[in-house]
């Protein structure tokens, strides 16, 4: 069988302008949303109010117990119903693969970011919280100005490593036929019957990006380790 690597060159604009843009935007949005929602979940899990911590714990454990592919399917079909409920429509609203993917990955990754932030919050000595209260700060002020900045800083390398995993996991939107980097390559691969070339190329690109990012995280980790 002959290989035709020209197909890659011909499809580069489509692969990167459409596919990679989708992948990177989805990663950044889900990271931002996931860290914010995950931090809230972590605060809920550590709450003294039993119902609040149980609710957050139940959500996190549920998300972590089922496969991401199943979660993607769940939200793909669930989001139209939630949309209808929110907008008071009688029919499920139409939601494209893009919005569905953003919501899915935000909600799913939040569970993983939550566990990281929980460890981060717990790594801050209790005395700091007590001094916050002693100074007259309330819960939210203590969290926002004393605990979370330090927790976030301590956990930065792990949060970034999780983001690299998120970057790789976004390729699973293939199952709802979204045109991310892999989806774009798969479309070309099937149209031109060049599966070997396209999938090898996709693997190489993902490898280069993920490996480069992991090296950056490692350097950051070393620098933080020296400061402490």
Partner 1 sequence: MHYSWHWQVLLEPEPGGTGTYLHYLIVGLGWTLATAAAAWVIALVIGAFVGTVRTTTARWAVRLGNFYVEIFRNIPLIVQMFLWFFVVPEFLPEELGNWIKQMPPPWGSYLPAVMCLGIFTSVRVAEQVRAGIGSLPRGQRMAGTALGLTQAQTYRYVILPQAFRIILPPLTSETMNIIKNSSVALTIGLLELTGRARAMQEFSFRVFEAFTAATVIYLLTNLVVVLVMRVVENRVRVPGLIAAGGAPQAGH
Does residue 90 bind partner 1 (CB under 8 A)? yes
Q: How far is the CB of 141 from partner 1 (least distance, A)?
A: 26
With a CB cutoff of 8 Å and minimum separation 6, the contacts of 226 are: none
35, two tokens: 């860290």
Within 96-135, which residues bind partner 1 (CB under 8 A)?
Answer: 112, 115-116, 119-120
Within 206-225, which residues bind partner 1 (CB under 8 A)?
Answer: 206-207, 210-211, 214
Which of these segments, 12-20, 125-133, 143-151, 164-172, binds partner 1 (CB under 8 A)?
Answer: 164-172
Closest CA to 10 of 195, 198, 196: 198
Quick check: 66 and 140 in contact, CB under 8 A? no
- Neighbour-count burial of 24, counting CB atoms closer than 10 A to its CB (0-12 exposed, 13-18 middle, 19+ buried): middle
With a CB cutoff of 8 Å and minimum separation 6, the contacts of 188 are: 7, 11, 14, 15, 194, 198
Does residue 78 bind partner 1 (CB under 8 A)? yes
With a CB cutoff of 8 Å and minimum separation 6, the contacts of 52 are: 44
Which of these segments, 7-15, 28-36, 46-54, 66-74, binds partner 1 (CB under 8 A)?
Answer: 66-74
Does residue 89 bind partner 1 (CB under 8 A)? yes
Residues that bind partner 1 (CB under 8 A): 1, 62, 65-70, 73-74, 77-78, 81, 84-85, 89-92, 112, 115-116, 119-120, 155, 158-159, 161-162, 164-166, 168-169, 171-172, 174-175, 182, 195-196, 199-200, 202-203, 206-207, 210-211, 214
């Amino acid at each position: 069988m002959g290989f035709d690597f020209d197909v890659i060159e011909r499809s580069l604009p489509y692969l990167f302008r459409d596919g990679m843009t989708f992948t990177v935007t989805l990663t950044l949005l889900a990271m931002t949303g996931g860290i914010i929602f995950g931090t809230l979940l972590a605060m809920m899990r550590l709450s003294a109010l039993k119902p609040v911590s149980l609710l957050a714990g139940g959500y996190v454990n549920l998300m972590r117990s089922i496969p991401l592919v199943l979660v993607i399917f769940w939200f793909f079909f669930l989001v139209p119903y939630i949309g209808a409920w929110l907008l008071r429509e009688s029919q499920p609203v139409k939601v494209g693969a893009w919005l569905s993917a953003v919501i899915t990955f935000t909600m799913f990754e939040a569970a993983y970011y939550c566990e990281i932030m929980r460890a981060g919050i717990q790594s801050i000595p209790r005395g700091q919280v007590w001094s916050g209260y002693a100074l007259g700060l309330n819960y939210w002020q203590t969290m926002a100005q004393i605990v979370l900045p330090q927790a976030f800083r301590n956990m930065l390398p792990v949060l970034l490593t999780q983001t690299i995993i998120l970057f790789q996991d976004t390729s699973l939107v293939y199952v709802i036929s979204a045109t991310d980097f892999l989806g774009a390559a798969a479309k070309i691969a099937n149209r031109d019957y060049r599966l070997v070339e396209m999938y090898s190329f996709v693997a190489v690109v993902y490898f280069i990006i993920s490996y480069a990012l992991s090296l950056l995280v490692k350097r950051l980790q070393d620098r933080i380790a020296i400061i402490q």
